[in-house]
Amino acid sequence: MGYGAGIGIANFTFDDARGFWQWVDICDNGGVDSIWQSDRIIDAAPNLEAMSVMAALAGGSRHLKFGMNVASLGLRNPILTAKQCATIDVLSEGRLLPAFGVGSALSKDFTATGTPTKGRGKRTDEGLQIMSRLWVEDKVTFSGEYYQLDEATIAPKPVQRPLPLWVGGSAKQAIERTARWGTGWQAGINTAAEVKPVIAAIKQRAEALGRHIDDDHFGAGFGFRFGTADEPIVTRYNEGLRKRLGKDPSGFNAVGGVTEMMNLIHEFKHAGVHKFILRPIATGTQDMIEQTKQMVELLLPEIYALNG
């Protein structure tokens, strides 16, 4: 059990693929715990497809773990997704951290792929059960409202036994899914104050169900930038957060130096978070690399020092 720091990416802000792999190499050899790719399909902004990134990282890194933050299971077929995850875990020798949520009803991904938003919660519930069983059982029979299996098997099974199954979301239903089927929980864009009651509720409900989720399997994060609050990129970032969330962006990011970042780390730590997913506020290959290098050299030692 311990504290760790991963790095989150949403938009593909690199100049090209070569820049992306230079950045991955820094993360892979710099002590970054994991890379977490957001899941967006239909979007004017450039975004990589989450499952494809997982497969690429399996061969393009050696030490990193990697996960989706979070993939929409209301949108994806769980049998195909279970097979993809097992394949990636085998080829990466056990470094996949699959994480799933329902997906927003406002997302254009559902309309564009002809997937109804109605029933997406139930589809997710059935999908979580199916995947967790396919990863460990040899013959899976399942009769649900949306999915049916008759002695189904996938092989090879994941290297990790059991394969982690992280769940995202803060709603009552997400708490129930995590407690019932998850092995970890990943916050969205939330403050430490918002995260604290969710973690407490998950632990309480899991205990009532006779389950246990390790303390170091609770993750949350924030945007960071080594710089000053008056930089145009920070202003744009905060404006985007304010427009998206309708909230004051303070508490969602840390700008300045290690002191400001560790202050926010400690807020999340006291809320029960052990895995910190940090999102660089940066644009372009060089800016991403520079911000990540400073994270590796200055911030990571302070975070890992929390382990004593």
When pLDDT is cut at 50, 70 and 90, the band that residue 280 belongs to is: very high
pLDDT at residue 247, as a whole number = 86
Would the pLDDT of 1 be above 80?
no
What is residue 124's predicted lDDT score, i.e. its pLDDT?
97
Q: What are the domain boundaries of the chain?
A: 4-307
Secondary structure (3-state) at 260:
helix
Closest CA to 131 of 83, 95, 193: 83
pLDDT tens string 188-204: 999 999 999 999 999 99
Contact 68, 37 (CB under 8 A): yes
Structure confidence at residue 244 (pLDDT): 86
Among 154, 168, 27, which residue's Cα sits nearest to residue 97?
Answer: 168
Of 201, 235, 226, nearest to 278 (Cα)?
226
Which H or E run contains 151?
strand 148-152
Please answer whether residues 187 and 221 qualify as being in contact, where contact means their C-beta atoms are separated by less than 8 angstroms.
yes
Q: Could you tell me what percent of the chain has a pLDDT over 70?
A: 100
Q: Which CATH architecture has domain 4-307?
A: Alpha-Beta Barrel (3.20)
What's 216's DSSP letter? Answer: G
My answer on whether omega of the bond before 162 falls inside 30° of 0, hence cis, is: yes
Query: Between 78-91 and 50-60, two packed helices, what is the crossing angle to 10 degrees?
Result: 10
Q: Which among 283, 293, 225, 226 has a CA at the least distance from the CA of 26?
A: 293
213-234 b/e (C-beta count within 10 Å ≥ 16 → b): beeebbbbbbbbbbbeeeeeeb
Note the pLDDT of residue 138: 96
Please state, in angstroms and as integers, the Cα–Cα distance from residue 57 to each residue in 133, 245, 291, following that order: 25, 31, 20
Q: What's the pLDDT tens digit per position in 129-153?
A: 999 999 999 999 999 999 999 999 9
Instruction: Please give the pLDDT value at position 245.
Output: 86
Mean pLDDT score of the chain = 96
**Rounded (5°) CA angle 168-58-277:** 35
pLDDT tens digit sequence for 210-255: 999 999 999 999 999 999 999 999 999 999 999 988 888 889 999 9
**Whole-prediction pTM:** 0.95
Tokens 């993809």 found at = 84
Query: pLDDT, tens digit, for every residue of 77-107?
Result: 999 999 999 999 999 999 999 999 999 888 9
Contact 198, 146 (CB under 8 A): no
Average pLDDT over residues 154-176: 96
Which are the contacts of 122, defined by CB distance < 8 A and separation ≥ 6? 145, 146
